[in-house]
Amino acid sequence: MMHTVKKLIDDALAEDIGSGDITTDNLVAPDQTGHAVILAKEPMVLAGLEIAIQVFETLDPSLAMESRYTDGDQLAAGDRVMALTGRLRPLLHGERTALNFLQRMSGIATHVSAYAAAVKDYPVRLVDTRKTTPGWRVLEKYAVRIGGAANHRMGLYDGVLIKDNHIAACGGITTAVTRVRANTSHLVKIEVEVGTLDEVAEALSAGADVIMLDNMDLEQIRAAVAAIDQRAVVEISGNVSLEKLPELARTGVDIISVGALTHQAQSVDISMRIKTGEATAA
């Protein structure tokens, strides 16, 4: 993960700075110093603080940075996320990149926290999907955890999920499960996506460990949970909204996967202000 994050930071800085910051480098002397404060402009769940710190450390390891907060803390509008002191050039060079990471990750964590709160009284696991920003998956899934939910598989490599297109390519659920079972470790669980009660019965008969009920209505979900009768883990996915979550959780399913945790999250408002003179503690 550390290698992935470092590459993301390096790529983001290269994308923004390019051959040089022609504004800052013509206005600010190389040795000019000062301090900056990063401020929350709205209520939020903080996520990505260490990433922002790494952005500035990449540009100038001598910068002094401090914060009274950690990821997962609830911030109010006006709260000071962190304070930074040192050369102004690297502070200005890294401002937008650091804020982009903070705003996106905190936006996801804040968004997810509302979903997590909606099911906190039910014995159900709320998870994300692979509907993430290309290249940012490791960070967005981290932000999901900070917001109070959990992760589904990280990618195609770390979990078997037989979806409708796999079933169509193989000619049926039983054939698909049999092929995967024959070619994977006995330690690997097999999940099958189904859309009807007949497919539920076939997936169960084929030995699926997890059965995903895709885009089923409440009546179908309840019938499927009863038919499965704890012989497989039951996941529901598709057309899940914040408003529907409590009712879905009451059906007795084990897992609710929600693509909206990431792809519908909006960045929160965070800004940085440069000041000259003596620094103020975070």
Please give, one letter per residue, the 3-state secondary structure of 247-279.
Answer: HHHCCCCCEEECCHHHHCCCCCCEEEEEECCCC
65 and 154 assigned to the same domain: no
Give a yes or no: residue 218 inside a domain.
Answer: yes
Question: Known catalytic residue: 141?
Answer: no
Residue 239 falls within a domain, yes or no? yes
Residues forming beta bridges with residue 10, ordered by sequence position? none
Instruction: Say if CB 91 and CB 34 are below 8 A apart.
Output: yes
Q: Are residues 159 and 249 in the same domain?
A: yes
Q: How many domains does the chain have?
A: 2
Whether 103 and 179 share a structural domain: no
120 is known as an active-site residue = no
Mean pLDDT of the region 70-95: 98
The verdict on 195 and 240 lying in the same domain is yes
DSSP track, 82-112: EEEEEEHHHHHHHHHHHHHHHHHHHHHHHHH
In angstroms, rounded to a whole number, what is the distance separating the alpha carbons of residues 46 and 142? 12
Q: Does some domain include residue 118?
A: no
Is 131 catalytic? The answer is yes
Residue 3 — pLDDT band, cuts 50, 70, 90?
confident
- 154 and 104 together in one domain: no
- Find the catalytic residue in 71, 79, 199, 214: 214
* Lookup: tokens for 139: 């960070």
Distances (CA, A) of 7 to 13, 55, 137, 161: 10, 11, 13, 29
Same-domain pairing of 80 and 36: yes
Whether 69 is in a domain gets the answer yes
Query: In the prediction, which pLDDT does 277 show?
Result: 62
pLDDT at 281 over 60: no
CB 93 within 8 A of CB 22: no
Is 214 catalytic? The answer is: yes
Looking at 80, 131, 145, 153, which residue is catalytic? 131
- Indicate whether 119 belongs to any domain: no
Which residues, including other chains, have CB under 8 Å from residue 248's CB and lie 6 or more apart? 218, 221, 236, 240, 256
Q: Which band of pLDDT confidence, cut at 50, 70 and 90, is reported for residue 4? A: confident
130 within a domain of the structure (yes/no): no
How deeply is 186 buried, as exposed, middle or buried, from its count of CB atoms within 10 A (0-12, 13-18, 19+)? exposed
Assess whether pLDDT exceeds 80 at residue 207. Answer: yes
pTM: 0.94
In a domain, 280, yes or no: no
**Mean per-residue pLDDT, 76-100:** 98
> By three-state DSSP, how is residue 219 classified?
helix
Q: Is 96 a catalytic residue?
A: yes
Mean pLDDT of the residues in the chain = 96
Q: Give the domain range for residue 206.
A: 150-257
Choosing from 193, 199, 202, 235, which is the catalytic residue?
A: 193
- Among candidate residues 96, 125, 153, 222, the one labeled active-site is 96
Residue 183 pLDDT greater than 60, yes or no: yes
Collapsing DSSP to helix, strand or coil, 47 comes out as coil
Q: How far apart are CA 266 and CA 145, in angstroms?
A: 17
Q: Is the pLDDT of residue 51 over 70?
A: yes
Whether residues 235 and 270 fall in one domain? no
- 17 and 74 part of one domain: yes
Residues 24 and 102 in one domain: yes
* pLDDT higher than threshold 90 for residue 276: no
Give the active site residue among 130, 163, 181, 222: 163
Is 232 within a domain? yes
Supply the CATH number for residue 26's domain.
3.90.1170.20
Residue percentage of the chain with pLDDT more than 90? 95
Asked whether residue 158 falls in the same domain as residue 102, the answer is no
User: Which CATH number covers residue 245?
Assistant: 3.20.20.70
Residues 108 and 171 in one domain: no
